[in-house]
Amino acid sequence: MTLAPVFLILSVFVVLIFGYPVALSLAGTALIAASLGIFMGIFEPAFLSAIPSRLFGIITNQTLIAVPLFVLMGVTLEKTRLAEQLLNTMARAFGKFPGGLGISVTLVGMLMAASTGIVGATVVTMGLMALPIMLKSNYDVRIATGTICATGTLGQIIPPSIALVLLGDVLSNAYQQAQLSQGIFNPKAVSVGDLFAGALIPGLLLVILYLAYLIFRANTNPGLTPPIFNQKSVTVSEILKSVFPPLLLIMAVLGSILIGIATPTEAAGVGAMGAMLLAGLRNEMNLQTLKQISISTTKTTSMVFFILIGASIFSLVFRGYGGDELIEYWFSSIPGGAMGAMFVVMIVIFLLGFILDFIEITFIVVPIVGPPLLALGIDPIWLGVMIAINLQTSFLTPPFGFALFYLRGVAPAQVETKEIYKGVIPFVVIQLSLLFLLAWYPDLATRLPEILYS
């Protein structure tokens, strides 16, 4: 059994370390490796003939059409100041209570995360909106920065999010591949809707744990999260006017998927149109804003699909060198069977989360490790939720978590980096606690899909 797949993976990471674009690094390294293999007679050229059909499959993939639509929905809510208005209203409603501002930031961050699903966008947006208010209100720096970083990463696990759409599509392909390798020629399917249902309870549980921590700190030491008294009171109608429309939009999108009346792509279209109408009704939409929304949506969508094309070429060459067989052999020899292999994969993905974004890990790592893990009997929905929470924890963990760097980039100069690191530690502990709870009790992820789609 050749070790060429190992050298192929190492070569990609070396190229990435030198700063080359991810999509070009994946495709370029794979094509160079394939060319060398053909020259040396150790790679079958017929594998490269499958590239056009793979690219055509990406273009015609109905599930992936949801990506630009969900991006449009999230960018619209971000660019039209709807999130800022929502935060101001929630802060006025809860701010008079100890820890109330932190609770408001968590709830608004949850809605923002669900609508965007991109860690960088949510952390930066919440950092610009909420951090100055929290510091001006004499919030403890560590609690303020930790809350913003933690809520900004919720887009990894709370549906509907782009991260779960991409992960669901990749896991669906991996699950079918795993079943075919076992001689099952009428394979079961797992959909993005299944993963949405599986992630819902763990995601909401995580938000509840965040809120419980903030309430606990506010009650044990009110001086760390003081109430705000010098602000205008808010009426019930103002709360409903700010909270109800975006909440209704997200519930309509997610609900239509969960109850089976719409596919993720159809629901994403409803969400995108609803966000545009919502912005228009609030007079937040103009030609300049529409231009910014269009440019941002196009850039993000292009990045996702460009990486997907590069990853598709890379995985094809990886399989051509027998990489899938090598990974399956290694997993079968790990002590502890399927759970031992799962533990190793979780550690590797956690460490890769320090240097790679969720899109890159989803398209590079999951197609490699997914089929062998699923062939060992791992539930695909549980695996997807575990990966999402694991990546979320990685993006939050010092010293290399992406969320920390994003907040550092927009935080005032007086906020020290070490304070940001200290602030996220309690939330990392919460994340790890949920991860171990989910590992011990997989029904948290698998029970709701079974009820909905049995």
Model confidence, pTM: 0.85
Q: Please report, rounded to a whole number, the percentage of residues in the chain having pLDDT higher than 70.
A: 97
Q: Which residues contact 440 (CB under 8 A, 6 or more apart)?
A: none
Q: What is the pLDDT at residue 443?
A: 93
Q: Please report, rounded to a whole number, the percentage of residues in the chain having pLDDT higher than 90.
A: 17
Segment 216-267, tens digit of pLDDT: 999 898 888 888 776 677 777 777 777 788 778 878 888 888 887 888 888 8
Q: What is the pLDDT at residue 282?
A: 76
Interval 181-192 mean pLDDT: 75
Q: What is the pLDDT at residue 181?
A: 74
In angstroms, rounded to a whole number, what is the distance separating the alpha carbons of residues 391 and 352?
9
pLDDT at 1 over 60: no
Q: Which residue has the higher pLDDT, 113 or 178?
A: 178
Q: What is the pLDDT at residue 268?
A: 85
pLDDT at 117 over 70: no
**Is the omega angle on the peptide bond into residue 98 within 30 degrees of 0, that is, cis?**
no
User: Contact 52/269 with Cβ under 8 angstroms?
Assistant: no
For the stretch 229-237, contacts whose Cβ atoms lie closer than 8 Å and that sit 24 or more positions apart, written own/partner, are 229/96, 231/91, 231/92, 231/95, 232/92, 233/92, 234/89, 234/92, 234/93
Question: Of the ranges 101-105, 204-208, 301-305, which is most confident?
Answer: 204-208
Segment 389-412, tens digit of pLDDT: 998 888 888 877 778 888 888 888
Domain that holds residue 184: 4-453
Q: Which residues contact 347 (CB under 8 A, 6 or more apart)?
A: none
Q: Which residue has the higher pLDDT, 420 or 406?
A: 420
Q: What is the pLDDT at residue 321?
A: 87
Tokens linked to 420: 């940001």
Q: Which amino acid is it at 357?
A: D
Q: What is the pLDDT at residue 239?
A: 76
Number of domains forming the structure of the chain: 1
pLDDT interval class at 354 (50, 70, 90): confident
Q: What is the pLDDT at residue 433?
A: 94
Q: What is the pLDDT at residue 328?
A: 77
Q: What is the pLDDT at residue 116?
A: 61
pLDDT at 153 over 60: yes
Question: Of the ranges 90-94, 163-167, 213-217, which is most confident?
Answer: 213-217
Angle between helices 66-79 and 119-136 (to 10 degrees): 20
Q: Average pLDDT, whole number, for the chain?
A: 84
User: Contact 204/114 with Cβ under 8 angstroms?
Assistant: no
User: Contact 278/73 with Cβ under 8 angstroms?
Assistant: no
